[in-house]
Amino acid sequence: MPDTQLPTYTAKDFTTDQDVRWCPGCGDYAILTAVRKTLPKLTTRKEDYVFVSGIGCAARFPYYMETYGMHSIHGRAPAFATGIKLANPELDVWLVSGDGDLLSIGGNHTMHVMRRNVDINIILLNNQIYGLTKGQYSPTSEFGKKTKSTPVGSPDYPVNPLSWAIGGGCTFVARSIDIDVKHLEEVMLRAAAHRGTSFVEVYQDCNIYNHQVWFYASQKKTKPDSTILLKHETPMIFGAERNKGLQMNGTRLEVVQLGNGVTEDDLLVHDETDRGLAFLLSQLAHPEFPEPLGVIYASTEHDTYDRVVHEQVRQAIHTHGKGDLHALLHEGDTWVVEDE
Amino acid sequence: MTPDTSTAHGRIGTKSLGAVAIRFCGDSGDGMQLTGGQFTNASALFGNDIATFPDFPAEIRAPRGSTYGVSGFQVQFASTEIYTPGDAVNALVAMNPAGFKTNISDVEPGGIVIVNEDEFAKGNFRKCGYEDGYNPLEDDELNRRYQIFKVPMSRLTRESLADMGMGAKDIDRCRNMYALGIVYWLYDRRIETTVDFLNEYFGKQKNQPQIAEINVRALKAGYYFGETAELFPVRYHVAPAKLKAGKYRKISGNEATVLGFVTAAAKAGKKLFYASYPITPASEIIHGLARLKHYGVMTFQAEDEIGAVCAAIGAAFAGDFALCGTSGPGLALKAEAIGLAVMFELPLVVIDVQRAGPATGMPTKTEQADLLQAMFGRPSESPCVIVAPRSPSDCFDMAVEAFRLAVHCMCPVLFLSDGYLANGAEPWLLPDLDAIHPIEVNHPTETNNPEGPYLPYKRDPETLARPWVIPGTSGLEHRIGGLEKQDVTGNISYDPDNHEHMVRTRAAKVLKAAQIIPPLEVRGPDSGDVLLLGWGGTYGAITTAGDELRRRGHSVSTAHLRYINPFPSNLGDVLSRFNTIIIPELNLGQLRMLIRDRFLIDVIGINEVRGKMFQVDALVKKTLEIMTNRSASVCDRRLNSMP
Ligand code: SF4
């Protein structure tokens, strides 16, 4: 008989015997650690996790997790994850992949998994570059980015993953940074607890092809002034001196200095459930604005896709009874040919 | 007193016929599919063998009266076993000049043509491109060639429904039932099935009892018109066919496909997961399955073709019977993912209801030109099992076979149906469910390696299949992926010898499926001069042509492949017993290429790509031509080799 009590896991239980093959110093290591440390805090059995990925450096993730895993093809991970979750909604499905995989070749599937609100967790490791194919610009690379495929600068405007997710109907949208393992864990726990598609963008340093692109947001010296840590129902304060905040001015957000008559009470208070506000926050970009970290949007308004689909099946059985194959075959007009 | 030769009415005689092919044609808004379907039902219930061919335009609402908006439905009904909807049309019902224009050349000389005379007016002639001042009904040549019956159906329908208090539009929509009534009378059919249908469909389902009533009235009016107008010199009777005893229903290929896959899943005690993206002519499959949720069927309409196949593969990993359906263009989009399923070694079935291509081609027309795509259309060496149903009802049997093979081999299976099978219908002898073998599925829960980690690619030495362990199984956690893996452990491997071994193993595994594939059967003598070898939807045409050639005394047998990869193990032996192998295909010679390659024998093709099924007559003629040329060239060779 299976043991009904949940075993106590440690990060080691989620570590495979495979050598991790990322470049030394890659931001992916920290994220892997954070995930391995997060899972023991959840109530899911090890055998019920499935890690799914597409193609790219980040997509090697499942090989390093001692759970069920699927390393699929480029861009299609959300579709595989949807199939897995529909087939067995008891499974806890995690999707880990990169910006090229999820936002370029897989953009269509990413959008649709979000709008359907399939109950899975998506972790986007955003390094603004194609690592595995050796350094071409990605859909999140900045305009003018010089790479091997864009020697005179990229002519593409980048996609904003958070705005994309919010616009696409995702019900949980958050952001974190690779080297902040504690914050990563917090965000992952929230993502795991969310019923529906949760989407976490993680700023990930590719120290080979795009080193330091996130340093403004990740390094001790610059982080406080270039990011803002969001907390639900808490005023939006940031800055090394904790003396700056965000305010609404008409329909736009603006940065204000505290003091001179401006107090905390004048600042905008974060409301995770406000989709309009979430979109405004998602648009905040360095260097004009601090970039938001934490849970930007979380809504429980919509049912999950897998639950709705299974409920339809349950309802059908309730209404018609369990299908009788013989009756189905013999449905409609039939006739009998007698023996001679 | 002179003996009365008629069955019902003294004045008009009844003539018995063995088989009749009727075609109904008209505007796509004229309800021709429904009319033809009703005639088919009445004939099937009467006990005839039937075969149908619905032929509809790609445009949903083409301009009224245009030739490209013509919708047709052909049905052959017979007192003997038949395999095709018939070559030449014995009777044509044309509801407008466009239908007349596009279909008249298919009518046999002397054939019956019933037209709605009211529609044969100036404006409509122009719409379908007849020259100004020309009325085909007044064409002497045409009148000599065919028996044209002009019936003012629009006016008669209006007159017979004048007192019903309904609008002109509703009344005009009953013209098809008026026409059907005439044909029912002419061919001595019972109208009751259609009366019941109209009451059920309009009266109950659509809650429009008045619409039901006027349609029934029009149907009866048409029938009585036939009886009283004395327009037709004779009525026709086609006796019931002597089919195998048992219970029957009429079934189309797509309907049988739906039922077959539901049965396959039930025979394995599995949930059926069907993922697809709308595409002609496969969409009826998701329509059919979506209403069977209480049979343990889950349908997923994906965002695109690729999403559909990937979701299905995900479901297969999680333990469902995973199925997707598409047509040629969709199969191309799914290619990479199917290759991944080859690598994953998971069971997956992909239906390709082939249509005329390439690209969008002619979506509502049939073709068999995806065979090589199914065989080779993926990156690198990625063999799949291929099955091909041969008739509408055979889609049921082959669906069950498809999953049996997918599970047996732990690999993708392609199911090649086509537009002709999908929409065509025939009587189906309902199978005995208990006689269908259960599909054995095993999801191991114990490790196969007590000493170390579970070995996901440790194979069954008999079948070479790997175990199908599903997520949720404690202690057997493992990863699968698209990177080449070491056999047994499943770990990523770039070792050259291992890759060679894995490529060969995946190929060998598919070939080993021949162990559970039934031998190819030959119809006619099992050796002789000519073998007509076919596959898929051409079965009816080839079989009928073969029977006809034998009847005329030629040494011709036929055989039809339902399993194409691997081939049945006796195929080589069968081929060796005939002097000449002819392969008729609706492509430019795809099976022919496979057979030549595999058996190093000469094979002659009969190839057509007209978006239509072969005509039996044409097949007979071409076969005879080939036979004559062959014997001539043999003589030549003999003469040339004389000293
Ligand atoms: S190329 Fe960049 S993203 Fe890829 S493993 Fe190396 S450091 Fe990490």
> Residue A186 belongs to a domain with what CATH number?
3.40.50.970
Q: Does residue A331 fall inside a structural domain?
A: no
Indicate whether A293 and A151 sit together in one domain: yes
Across chain A, where does the E strand assignment appear?
Answer: 49-53, 68-71, 92-98, 121-126, 129-130, 136-137, 172-177, 198-203, 227-229, 237-238, 244-249, 252-257, 291-298, 334-337
Do A95 and A84 belong together in one domain? yes
Task: Assess if residue A90 is contained within a domain.
Answer: yes
Determine the 3-state secondary structure of B622 from DSSP.
helix
Token representation of residue B240: 């019931």
- The full set of domain ranges for chain B reads 3-238, 249-435, 522-639
Q: What value, to the nearest 5°, has the Cα angle with vertex A169 and ends A167 and A171?
A: 120
Same domain membership, residue A183 and residue A168: yes
B39 touches A at CB < 8 Å:
no
Q: Is A208 in the pocket of ligand 1 (CB under 6 A)?
A: yes
Is the CB of B453 inside 8 Å of chain A's CB atoms? yes
Nearest Cα residue to atom 6 of ligand 1 = A23
- Cα–Cα distance between B191 and B173 in angstroms, integer? 18
Instruction: Test B307 with A108 for CB contact under 8 angstroms.
Output: yes
DSSP H/E element including A184: helix A181-193
CB distance A22 to ligand 1 below 6 Å: yes
Separation of A210 CA from ligand 1 center, angstroms?
9
User: In ligand 1, which atom is closest to the CA atom of A58?
Assistant: 3
Residues A195 and A163 in one domain: yes
Q: List, in order, residues 6 or more apart from A7 with CB less than 8 Å away.
A: A45, A46
My answer on whether A170 and A242 are in the same domain is no
Q: Is the CB–ligand 1 distance for residue A100 below 6 Å?
A: no
- Domain assignment present for residue A340? The answer is no
- % of chain B at pLDDT higher than 90: 92
pLDDT for position B7: 47
Chain B positions in Cβ-Cβ contact with residue A17 (cut-off 8 Å): 453
3-state secondary structure (DSSP) of residue A287: coil
pLDDT above 80: residue B641: no
Nearest to B32 by CA among B163, B187, B173: B173
Under the banding of pLDDT at 50, 70 and 90, the label for residue A333 is confident
A262 ligand 1 Cβ < 6 A? no
Out of A19, A31, A208, mutate this one to test ligand 1's pocket (max ligand atoms within 8 Å of CB): namely A208
Is A305 close to ligand 1, i.e. is its CB under 6 Å away?
no
How far is the C-alpha of B39 from the C-alpha of B22, rounded, in Å? 9
Q: Name the residue facing B310 among A47, A83, A317 (closest C-beta).
A: A83
A279 lies in the same domain as A259 = no
- Residues A103 and A18 occupy one common structural domain: yes
Q: Please tell me whether the overall predicted TM-score, pTM, comes out greater than 0.90 for this model.
A: yes
- The yes-or-no verdict on residue B9 having pLDDT over 60 is no
- What is the Cα Rg of chain A in Å? 23
| Strands of A244-249's sheet in order across | A237-238, A244-249, A252-257
The one-letter code for the residue type at B524 is G
| Per-residue H/E/C for B408-455 | HHCCEEEEEEEHHHHHCEEEEECCCHHHCCCCCCCCCCCCCCCCCCCC
CATH number of B249-435: 3.40.50.970
CB contact under 8 A, B247 and A316: no
CB pairs under 8 A between A and B: 218
The residue-averaged pLDDT of B68-78 equals 95
Contacts 24+ apart (CB under 8 A), B142-148: B142/B104, B145/B109, B145/B110, B146/B104, B146/B107, B146/B109, B146/B110, B146/B111, B146/B112, B146/B113, B147/B110, B147/B111, B147/B112, B147/B113, B148/B113, B148/B115
Task: Find the residue in B nearest to A61 (Cα).
Answer: B479
Residue B394 contacts by C-beta under 8 Å, 6 or more apart in sequence?
B256, B539, B562
Report how far residue B49's alpha carbon sits from residue B39's, in angstroms, rounded to the nearest whole number.
13
- Does A122 map to a domain? yes
Q: Considering only CA atoms, which of B426, B435, B392 is closest in space to residue B263?
A: B435
Residue A87 to residue B320, Cβ atoms within 8 A: yes
Q: How far apart are CA B604 and CA B628, in angstroms?
A: 13
C-alpha A258/C-alpha B39 separation (Å) is: 84
* Common-topology check for domains B249-435 and B522-639: yes
CA A6 centroid distance within chain: 26
Closest in B275, B296, B471 to A47, CB measured: B471
Nearest by CB to residue B482, choosing from A2, A69, A71, is A71
A326 found inside a domain? no
Q: Which pair of tokens denotes residue B598?
A: 């595999």
Beta bridge mates, A172: A198, A298
Cα distance from N-terminal residue to C-terminal residue, chain B: 78
Q: Which amino acid, residue B457?
A: Y
CB B342 within 8 A of CB B384: yes
Among A22, A94, A197, A325, pick the best mutation site for testing chain B contact (most B Cβ within 10 A).
Answer: A325
Q: How far is the CA of A284 from the centre of ligand 1 (A)?
A: 27
Q: Which amino acid is at A147?
A: T
pLDDT grade for A142, boundaries at 50, 70 and 90: very high
Q: Examine the domain organization and report whether A62 and A168 are in the same domain.
A: yes
Q: Would you say the C-alpha torsion B127, B133, B137, B141 has a positive or negative sign?
A: negative
> Which residue, judged by its Cα, is nearest atom 8 of ligand 1?
A26
Helix (H, G, I), strand (E, B) or coil at A192: helix
From the list A63, A112, A337, which residue is nearest B244 (CB)?
Answer: A337
pLDDT at position B5, please? 36
Query: If you measure from the C-alpha of residue A21 to the centroid of ligand 1, how many angstroms do you get, rounded to a whole number?
Result: 9
* pLDDT digits 0-9 by tens, B133-145: 899 999 999 999 9
pLDDT, tens digit, for every residue of B172-214?
A: 999 999 999 999 999 999 999 999 999 999 999 999 999 999 9
Instruction: Specify the ligand 1 atom closest to the Cα of A57.
Output: 4
Q: Quote ipTM for the complex.
A: 0.97
- Residue B12: pLDDT band by 50, 70, 90 thresholds? confident
Which residues does B53 contact at the CB level (< 8 Å), separation at least 6? B73, B74, B75, B85, B420, B423, B424, B613
Whole-number pLDDT of residue B473: 98
Identify residue B445 by its one-letter amino acid code.
T
Residue A332 included in any domain: no
Residue among B585, B586, B594, B606 at smallest CA distance from B374: B594
Ligand 1 atom 1 nearest Cα: A131
Token pair in block for residue B32: 């021709």
Residue carrying structure tokens 């970039």? A291
Mean pLDDT of A254-259: 96
Mutate to test the interface with A, among B247, B263, B295, B489 (most CBs of A within 10 A): B295
Which 300-319 residues of chain B touch chain A by CB within 8 A? 300, 302-304, 306-308, 310-319
Q: Which residue has the tokens 């004389």?
A: B642
A149 and A262 housed in the same domain: no
- Indicate whether residue A80 lines ligand 1 (CB < 6 A): no
- The residue-averaged pLDDT of B321-345 equals 98
**Chain A residues close to B337, C-beta within 8 Å:** 73, 76
**Residue A20: CB within 6 Å of ligand 1?**
no
Burial of B274 per CB tally in 10 Å (0-12, 13-18, 19+): buried
Buried b (16+ CB within 10 A) or exposed e, B166-205: beeeebebbbbbbbbbbbbbbbebebebbbebbeeebbee
Overall average pLDDT of the B307-326 stretch: 98
Of ligand 1's listed atoms, the one at least distance from the Cα of A28 is 8
Q: What is the pLDDT of residue A192?
A: 97
- In this structure, are A14 and A63 located in the same domain? yes
Return d(Cα B272, Cα B579) in angstroms, integer.
46
- What is residue B526's predicted lDDT score, i.e. its pLDDT? 96
Domain tally, chain A: 2
Record: contact A334-B433, CB cut-off 8 A = no
Query: In whole angstroms, how far apart are CA B234 and each of B1, B76, B143, B151, B187?
Result: 21, 19, 18, 17, 10
Task: Decide if B245 and A338 are in contact by the 8 Å CB cutoff.
Answer: yes
Q: How confident is the model at residue B122 (pLDDT cuts 50, 70, 90)?
A: confident
Nearest C-alpha neighbor of A196 from the set A103, A108, A301, A96: A301
A329 and B340 within 8 Å at the Cβ level: the answer is no
Q: What is the mean pLDDT of chain B?
A: 94
Q: Across the interface, which of B303, B318, B474 has its CB nearest the CB of A91?
A: B318
Q: Do A83 and B41 touch (CB under 8 A)?
A: no
With a pLDDT cut of 90, the percent of chain A lying above it is 96
- Cα of A11 to nearest chain B Cα, Å: 16
Alpha helix segments (H runs only) across B230-369: 253-268, 283-290, 305-317, 328-344
Among the CATH numbers 2.60.40.10, 3.20.20.20, 3.40.920.10, 3.40.47.10, which is that of B3-238? Answer: 3.40.920.10
Beta strand residue intervals within B192-320, DSSP E: 234-238, 246-252, 272-276, 297-301
Residues A150 and A47 in one domain: yes
pLDDT over 50 (residue B74): yes
For range A222-234, the mean pLDDT: 97
For B:134-193, CB contacts with A below 8 A are: 193
Q: Read off the pLDDT of residues B442-471 as tens digits, 9 standing for 90 and up.
A: 999 999 999 999 999 999 999 999 999 999
Averaged pLDDT for residues B51-62? 84
Instruction: Report yes or no: B195 at the A interface, CB cutoff 8 Å.
Output: no
Confidence band of B4 (pLDDT split at 50, 70, 90): very low
Q: Looking at residue B297, what is its pLDDT?
A: 97
B residues 236-255 lying closer than 8 A (beta carbon) to A: 240, 242-250
Contacts of residue B11, Cβ cutoff 8 Å, sequence gap at least 6: B230
Mutate to test the interface with A, among B79, B317, B350, B476 (most CBs of A within 10 A): B317
- The whole-angstrom separation of Cα A125 and Cα A105 is 15
Q: Does residue B396 register a pLDDT over 70?
A: yes
The C-alpha of A223 sits at a distance from chain B's nearest C-alpha, in angstroms, of 37
Residue at A7 is within a domain: yes
Q: A57 CA to middle of ligand 1, Å?
A: 6
Q: Is the CB of A206 under 6 A from ligand 1?
A: yes
Residue A89 pLDDT > 90:
yes
Domain with A249, as residue range(s), is: 235-269
- Note the pLDDT tens digit of each residue in B560-599: 999 999 999 999 999 999 999 999 999 999 999 999 999 9
Q: In this complex, is the C-beta atom of B266 within 8 Å of any C-beta atom belonging to chain A? A: yes
Task: State whether B480 and A71 contact (CB < 8 Å).
Answer: yes
How far is the C-alpha of A117 from the C-alpha of A96, rounded, in Å? 17
Same domain, A156 and A298: yes
CB distance B273–A73 less than 8 Å? no
Q: Is A312 a member of any domain?
A: no
Class of domain B522-639: alpha beta
Taking residue A316's Cβ as centre, other Cβ atoms within 10 Å add up to 19
Length of chain A as a residue count: 340
Contact B74, B93 (CB under 8 A): no
Q: Is the peptide bond before A287 cis (omega within 30 degrees of 0)?
A: yes
Are the beta carbons of B502 and A85 closer than 8 angstroms?
A: no
Amino acid at B623: T
Percent of chain B having pLDDT more than 70? 97
Distance of CA A246 to the CA centre of its chain: 25
